[in-house]
Structure formats: C-alpha cells, structure tokens
Amino acid sequence: MFTRILIALLLSLFVMVRGWAAEKEKPAAKSSSFSLPAIESESTGSKFSDAQLAFVQSWIKQKAPECPSAISAAVAELFLEELQQRRPEGLHQLLTADFPAGKFESMLLRQVAVKLTGASQGPLREEVARRRVGAMLTAGGKETRAALAEAAGLINKIKDTSPAQHRRLMEGKMDDDDLEILLKKTNQVAAGPKEAGPAKPKVLTAADIVSEFARRNQVGSALQRLQAYSVEGRLKNASGEEQDLLLFKMRPDRFRLVVRSAGLTRYLMAGDGAQFWQQAAGQAPQVVPADKMGSRLYLAEFVDPLFVGEGYAYERREDGERDGRRFHRIAVRRPDASSYVACIDTESYRELARENEDHSVARYSDFREVGGVTYAFREEVTDQKGNMGVFVVTRIAPNPGLIQDLFELPAKQNAGYFQIEQLLAPPADRPTGQSNK
C-alpha cells in the first residue's frame, strides 16, 4: 500500500545519485564509488530446522504422494518461507498438536504446483489443483469427499470462462485470497440467475470505489492508529544492480530514505516537512529545492492518496482487464496537478497497478496484512522502453517510535554515520592503513 511509488522514484533516484556524486566528489578509489559491487551468493543452508522440513515433507507425501521426491525439499522450503511471512503464528504452531493443517493445506499444494514445471506433469498439476480447490472448500465447511467432487466441476468452469485464471491456478501463481474470490464468483455463475432475475448492478462512481478501497484495505480504524512506519527491502534495477533500502515515514509528511550496498550506507534523502535534503558518503548534507525533487517529492506522502480524500480529485476511467482479472481505473489528481491512474481489482479492491504520467506502469502483488493494514510486498515498474525494476519488501514495522530529529537536516560538518560504518566495517573493507582507533 505505502510502497506504491517507491520503485519509480528510487530508480530515478539511483540515476540522480550517480550524477550528483560525479559532480561533487573528486576521483576516488573503486571501493568508495557508488557503483554497486557484485552481490555475493547467499548461503544455501536452510533457515528452518530439520524437524520443520521433515514435517512438511511428510505432509507433502501424504497430500500429494505423486510429487517427485526430488522436488519435495524445495517445496517444503517454499511453504515454510510463505508461512513465516504470511502467517508467522502458523509456523510457531507447526510442530505442535494445535497446528491447523486444514487451514494451510491449500498453501502447501500451491507450492507443489509451483515446482511441477515439466511438460509431462500436466495431469499431475490438474490433480494437485483439484485437491487444492477441494481443500479450500473443505476449509469452508464442506465434507471432504463432496468438496473434491465439486472441485473438478469448478475447475472445468474456470477453464471455460477464464483460461488465464485457469493457467494461474495450474501453475501455482494464484494465492489463497485470490482463489477464494475466484471460487465464489465461479459458484455464483454456476448457480445461474434466480427466477426473478438478478438485480441490476449499481453503477459505481469514483467516490464509491475509493471509499470501498479504503474500507477493504484496513481493519477498522487501523490507519488512524498509524503514526509512523518503516519499510525494508531490496531494489533490483533493469541492469541487475541491487541496493538495500530502508524508508522511514512519520505523519504528516516526514520521510527518510537510506540507500545501502555491500553493508554500507551510500546515500540519504529526507524531508522534514519544511525542506528536503540529501547526502552522499564523504559529502556534507545538501538542501534540495522542492522544484528539483521531481517525482521524489511524493515520498513525503504518508499514505496512498486513495486513502486521503481531501485535497485529491478522483475520476473514473474505463475499466480494464489483465490476465483474466478485471479492475477499475481511477484517475487520481494531486493538489499540485500531477496525476496517475490507479487500477483497483473489482473483487478484492487491492491496487493492482498504477499508470504514471511518464508512461511507466507499476504492478503490485504479494499483498499481506500488517498491523491491520494491507501492504504490497512486491512492486514491479516497467518504463516505456520496457526496462523493469523490482522492489521486494522484507519487513514493514508499524509505529516504530520515530522522532522529528531523524528527518531534519544535520549540521553540514556532520557526516553522520557514514564514518561510523566505515570504522565498524571488517578490516578487509577498509582502505590500507585505516584503524579502529
């Protein structure tokens, strides 16, 4: 939800930082350049215990005995990763008698489907999908045998009415929330119209859609309780370079962005509500005029404009469809006259995409609820030339206890924690002759 504009802004920021650093810095050794080094390969060891992995592999053998043993370990790892991210309480219960296996059976079978990529595995993918739909229906209260019988008919109906959705289901690309919505919709179609005929659907206005978006994407008044939050994640641009990002936000319009690579901070950008500033390693902080911020100005938006209402104008555009999913298109105009088009799923009311003025398109997925608010944990931005940047969120912390000083311009002679990080870096990362003293 709150990372909606992050990739587009940060990809342009990446270019700006390099240009700004080239103007300000004297020639430096390669180790001090802002250019990103190659990312070291991550450890292949699992972060989950042998007992957890063994439990899930045994569960896979029970629910999908035809699943090749060669991919069972990879499926178990994927399932535990998703369980940890989406439902951490389930991971804590995994090895206990209280673990609600039926509640997570669909999630398990989805990960099996993800790994069934062989050309000869089509029939097995169909069977796994049938069992998954059956598990969803059973979790909803149906008897197991009846649920499995009904599942086959529902899958055939999905295949006839929406081949794209059927393909997503077969490939394990549809999460449980989307599958639940699809099954309800398919059931309604299969039931046919009532004798009196269906009521004529209400024509929704832009205000209706925006209001429903705000209602569906928070629990109760969760946004009113949100005074600050932080977002951690990794950005990968079209050329394959990666950066770790840490974004702090505080009401009403404070932000601080930290750009890191190779374990060290390379760049800062912030706004304290009165002015914007930036700082690169080895340089004094510098004020940036608002008219030079470009689209980075909107990092100061504390929440998605679809939640705000006052000060923004909304206009309904023609609906769209992608991969079998229909969405409302709402033009959002900011007080400064800039605008974009928000694409809102007609069923879940999640913001699936954003069409920007520069003709780039941001697409959002992996939606999760944190602190009663819905967030997109994956964002992909494609520019008009087809170049893509990807931002994957690893952690969001609501109300982390931020203070105003974090966002204010530091003294020009203070290079902040750039030097501190250099002192704390391992000896191999420090220039020859530098000490910890």
| 217 and 187 inside one domain | no
- Contacts of residue 403, defined as CB under 8 A and 6 or more positions apart, other chains included, come to none
Distance CA 5, CA 2 (A): 8
Whether pTM exceeds 0.85? no
Q: Which helix (H) or strand (E) holds 233?
A: strand 228-236
| 222 and 273 inside one domain | yes
Domain for residue 309, yes or no?
A: yes
CB 416 within 8 A of CB 410: yes
CB 167 within 8 A of CB 158: no
Domain for residue 42, yes or no?
A: no
Cis peptide before 252 (omega within 30 of 0): yes
Write the pLDDT tens digit of every residue in 51-77: 999 999 999 999 999 999 889 999 999
Torsion sign across C-alpha atoms 397, 399, 401, 402: positive
| 152 and 236 inside one domain | no
Residue 169 pLDDT exceeds 70: yes
Distance CA 139, CA 197 (A): 31
**Nearest Cα to Cα of residue 102 among 372, 74, 93, 374:** 93
Assign residue 266 the CATH number of its domain.
2.50.20.10
| 183 and 267 inside one domain | no
C-beta pairs of 365-368 under 8 Å, 24+ apart in sequence:
366/175, 367/177, 368/85, 368/86
Domain for residue 41, yes or no?
A: no
DSSP-based three-state secondary structure for 91 = helix
Write the pLDDT tens digit of every residue in 325-371: 999 999 999 999 999 999 999 999 999 999 999 999 999 999 999 98
| 423 and 381 inside one domain | yes
| 217 and 244 inside one domain | yes
Tokens 């292949």 belong to 44
Domain for residue 409, yes or no?
A: yes
| 350 and 293 inside one domain | yes
Average pLDDT, the chain: 82
Instruction: Look up the domain containing 70 and give its range.
Output: 64-191
